[in-house]
Amino acid sequence: MSAAYKLEAATGNDPFALSRERFEAIVTQVSSARSLASGHAKVEESLIEGGRGLLRQLFQDHLDWRSVQERRVEVVDQDGVRLVARRTARRTLRSLLGPVVVTRSLYQGQGREGRAPADAGLRLCEDSYSMGVRRAVVQLCVQDAYAPAVATLEQLAGAHVPQRQAEELVQRAAEDVRLFYCVRIPDPVPDAALLVLSFDAAGIAMRTESLRPTTREKAESSPADPSFPPKLKTGQKPNRKRMAQVAAVYAIEPFVRSTDDILGELQSLTPTPNDNARPRRPRPVNKRVFASIARSAADVINEGFREGLARDPRRERRWVVLVDGNGDQIRAVRRAAERAGVAVTIVADLIHLIEYLWRASYCFHAAGSDAARQWVVQRVRALLDGADPRQVAAGMRRSATRRKVKDRQAVDRCAQYMHGLAPYMLYGAALRDGLPIATGVIEGACRHLIRRRLDIGGARWSTEGAEAILLLRAVVSSGDFDDYWAFHEPLVFQHTHEAKYRGRIPNTRPVLRRVK
């Protein structure tokens, strides 16, 4: 050691004697004739089991050593009441190494809740789970269903966490996510890059009591067990879903493309695209995705604009907002932009429009035919070349009238869609300016944040449970989990310990004196 210290406390016997005995037992075992005759898998298994026991014993010895050295202190609770009665108390700490026992002094007073300053020194949580277990539970449960996640944790680390407790730990771990993003300073938008915001929504199957009022009334009024339930489409869940609002904020370099570049990328329109001929597209940078089942679309959109202002406070970059065409969403975007004092270019997703065009094409041509594909390609090409969407829509309607198409609902629906979103379908200008015209990033966020975790078959969510998973899954997806956890841990300490004392928390560690 570079410096020697002497404790002002009796050291007694070797506090780590049991750990040394376990280590010697492991060495004896792996050097035995039986181990030398075993395959590597058997030796590996015995080392993992013995090593975990050794580490748990080291942890226990460390905690016991701290208990031996704990000194008496003066304790004053948050109300200014001195707690003078002192007794030895124990609590279990469930760690990644297994359960250990923490022995420490508990200070009490008449009619007052006890205080254990040594718990603050160890930074223990209110419940019995260590911070390591909490972090592992979060990381596993945001990726997989609770039951297999806690089973994996027990298999890999030997830490047993019941499913109900895992759900509670996840909800507690998500409590500081919004505060984290309020105080976090994101990287600025690079020079010449676009600042892109995109918004969408996806449904989550909820417990009846967590549905929105209108949907809940329909769910409660529907027969609980109908004799002949209607046939549902794949994935359809009538009166069971609540919409989660999803947002993405990122920066991306402008990407100027031609009409042929776009058509060459769309496999539905170009059956055999030439991948080698595609220009290399820039990748989004500093991407943050987030979602909420508890908040409204307007609230999520407002948060997206706050994130944008944190990245471009002087409003020097070009702001682009990608939407799927929802009218309420566009109105909320325009209100948020006005409040933020930024000029935005709103672009309606091209892929959504193409889906409408495909359905309209089947009014004129056989489904799946080359003629139907060519019909769609012609109109997409015209729009990408800068044609007025209203004129394209009017031409579709005139064509249906001239051909006396009887079932023309898809044509009229597509034309109405284009008329309503015409100001946001100026794709020719968007291509010239290098703006994105598709919502692939937010569609990917919906798939990853929601469908791959919250849309697991048979799952029914409470609002609190779904919100916690969405918050934490978004933190992980945005690459901010390590930073968030470093932010979260001190807040847990503050809520658990600092709020329970008047002034500074007493230091129970023995005084160290340097030996010259």
Residue 228: which pLDDT band, with cuts at 50, 70 and 90?
A: very low
| pLDDT > 60? residue 226 | no
Token representation of residue 215: 């949907």
The tens digit of pLDDT for each residue in 20-49 reads: 999 999 999 999 999 999 999 999 999 999
The tens digit of pLDDT for each residue in 343-383 reads: 999 999 999 999 999 999 999 999 989 999 999 999 999 99
- Report the b/e string of 21-37 with b at 16+ CB within 10 A: ebbeebeeeeeeeeeee
The rounded distance, in Å, linking the Cα atoms of 325 and 319 is 18
Compute the C-alpha angle 72/77/82, nearest 5°. 60
The pTM assigned to this predicted structure is 0.87
The tens digit of pLDDT for each residue in 126-148 reads: 999 999 999 999 999 999 999 99
| Chain centre to alpha carbon of residue 224 | 34
Burial tier of 256 (Cβ tally within 10 Å: 0-12, 13-18, 19+): exposed
> pLDDT averaged over the chain?
89
What local confidence, expressed as pLDDT, does residue 238 receive? 63
Amino acid at 43: V
| pLDDT > 80? residue 54 | yes
What local confidence, expressed as pLDDT, does residue 5 receive? 39
CB 338 within 8 A of CB 302: no
What local confidence, expressed as pLDDT, does residue 212 receive? 75
Lowest mean pLDDT among 173-177, 223-227, 284-288, 416-420: 223-227
For 510, residues 6+ apart whose C-beta sits below 8 A from its C-beta are 7, 8, 9, 69, 70, 71
End-to-end CA distance of the chain: 13
| Domain layout of the chain by residue ranges | 1-67, 70-184+481-504, 186-222+237-477
What local confidence, expressed as pLDDT, does residue 509 receive? 84
CB 455 within 8 A of CB 242: no
Q: Would you give the DSSP letter of residue 137?
A: H
Beta carbons within 10 angstroms of residue 220's beta carbon: 12
Token representation of residue 277: 């001929």
CB 194 within 8 A of CB 251: yes
